[in-house]
Amino acid sequence: MTTMAEDGTLRVWLFGIGLEAYWSQFDGLEARLKGYVKRVAERLAGPGREIVNFGLVDSPQRAFAVGHEARRQDVDLLVLYVTTYALSSTVLPVVRRAKVPVLVLNLQPEAAIDYERFNSLPNRTAMTGDWLAFCSACPVPEIANVFARAGVPFHQVTGVLDGDAECCREAWIEIGDWMAAAQVVETLSHMRLGLMGHYYGGMLDIATDLTAVSSVFGAHVEMLEIDELGAICAEMTSAEVTVKLEAIRTEFDVQADCSAEELVRAARTAAALDELVDRHSLGALAYFYNGSGCSMNEDTITSIILGTSMLTRRGVPVAGEYEVKNVLAMKILDSLGAGGSFTEYYAVDFKDDVVLMGHDGPGHPGIAEGKTKVKPLAVYHGKVGRGLSVEMSVKHGPVTLLSVVENGRGGFKLLVAEGESEAGPILEIGNTNSRYRFPIGARAFIQRWNEQAPAHHCAVGLGHVGDKLDKLGKLLSLDVVRVC
């Protein structure tokens, strides 16, 4: 029984900066700036995040101490709130020692200085102290210059700390996107990715460099045997199968032509999949297996679709056809709260200017339009056997497509498109199937997507999350290509 699992908690260390010489010169400035840093800490807080507020770093000595502590505490992200002018020598020791991504917040306390109030202050010393509280933009070019020369990648958000101004709202939306992207990085870096079976023969596009997967995304790859799943199936008690059968009837719209025998087969394998996932602490799974010549394995693999769909719904995405890159895409979308279902081109409806996309095998019932149907298939096209399958369309409204693309240089990029899932006729063949409209039109979408040389599978999730994926790419040092 393994003990490694997704941690899920993002450790964010926040610090403001200032110049120690100011505190004795301008009464109340230090306390005022610390209050602003506290306000940022409050607004950064959210589920799955641990925010540690280090207050103001105002000297190189303090910077060295904070940098050492950040490294000891295994920080995931440094957030530097630029409160006023500060020396770049006050910042560099922190980021060099921590060696984690840096987000620079250039946030004024208000949208503009109240010039009348400012100019009515009793003396120029008071005026200067008040101005310094608005001086967050001043040192950012200096900090950026030093980071660039020191080879320290950084990201920035400019705007306003509080208020109703649009620049405040936009800044905090952007900051929220950075936090979400950083949490995905944290999830991926603690994920155990199970691979069971082998590639679908001849699909050269889905062959994946597993060393690169671990190196770039941080995931651990766990090689699994289909025989283990089959053995677990054989160990399932009638009570465990009954519980899972009730869950299937609750979660799915089981069609009348589904036989009792096939439902029991699916329930047994679904219960066994839960045990397999728990036994290996899996955060995602990719699989393919023929099973021909071994009745136990064939029985297991032909009854797997309902259980893998249920796992996908609960945050353990499962991709068929041993699609390693695509299960990463599914996990990314799921970690952003968008779901993440397995899909590919089916056909183009040039009359309606939409692309039909879907796939056989596991779907994501949590992002379906209505309840996912369970239908029996007399044959799994291109695969061994027959059994129960799922039919669904992705919920109507905004969607994002994501492909993790492996290039010829041993690296990856993220390919993104935003569109709409819409109502209309689909192919009712017992598979997932949706109609997608893109702002650039179906023909241009197809051509631009293909120009990026993706594998033929991709993942689809709810909502438009392209901005978050842009930031995820920056944190992972991956190119992000947005088709639309």
What is the b/e burial string over 30-65, where b = at least 16 CB atoms within 10 angstroms of the residue's CB?
bebbbebbeebbeebeeeebebebbbbbbbbebbeb
Contacts of 182 (CB under 8 A, 6+ apart): 10, 12, 76, 77, 101, 475
Distance CA 379, CA 397 (A): 32
pLDDT score at 125: 93
pLDDT score at 382: 64
Q: How long, in residues, is the chain?
A: 484
Q: What is the pTM of this model?
A: 0.94
pLDDT score at 3: 37
Distance CA 484, CA 467 (A): 12
SS3 call for 21: helix
In sequence order, what DSSP letters do the residues of 104-117 get, joined into one string? EEEEESSSS--HHH
Asked if 33 and 18 count as a contact pair (C-beta separation under 8 A), the reply is: yes
Contacts of 283 (CB under 8 A, 6+ apart): 5, 6, 187, 190, 191, 192, 193, 219, 315, 316, 331
Distance CA 16, CA 38 (A): 9
461, β-bridge pairs: 400
User: Given its phi and psi angles, is residue 429 left (phi above 0), alpha (psi -120 to 50 degrees) or beta?
Assistant: alpha
What is the b/e burial string over 233-262, where b = at least 16 CB atoms within 10 angstroms of the residue's CB?
beebeeebbeebbebbeebbbbeeebeeeb
Cα–Cα distances in Å, from 436 out to 241, 424, 430?
37, 10, 19
Place of tokens 């192919």: 427
pLDDT in tens, the chain (484 residues): 333 344 578 999 999 999 999 999 999 999 999 999 999 999 999 999 999 999 999 999 999 999 899 889 889 999 999 999 999 999 999 999 888 999 999 999 999 999 999 999 999 999 998 899 999 999 999 999 999 999 999 999 999 999 888 999 999 999 999 999 999 999 999 999 999 999 988 888 888 999 999 999 999 999 999 999 999 999 999 999 999 999 999 999 999 999 999 999 999 999 999 999 999 999 999 998 987 778 788 888 889 999 999 999 999 999 998 999 999 999 999 999 999 999 999 999 999 999 999 888 889 999 999 999 999 886 776 666 677 989 999 999 999 999 999 987 778 999 999 999 999 988 888 788 999 999 999 999 999 999 999 989 999 999 999 999 999 999 999 999 999 9
pLDDT score at 385: 64
pLDDT score at 361: 80
pLDDT score at 299: 86
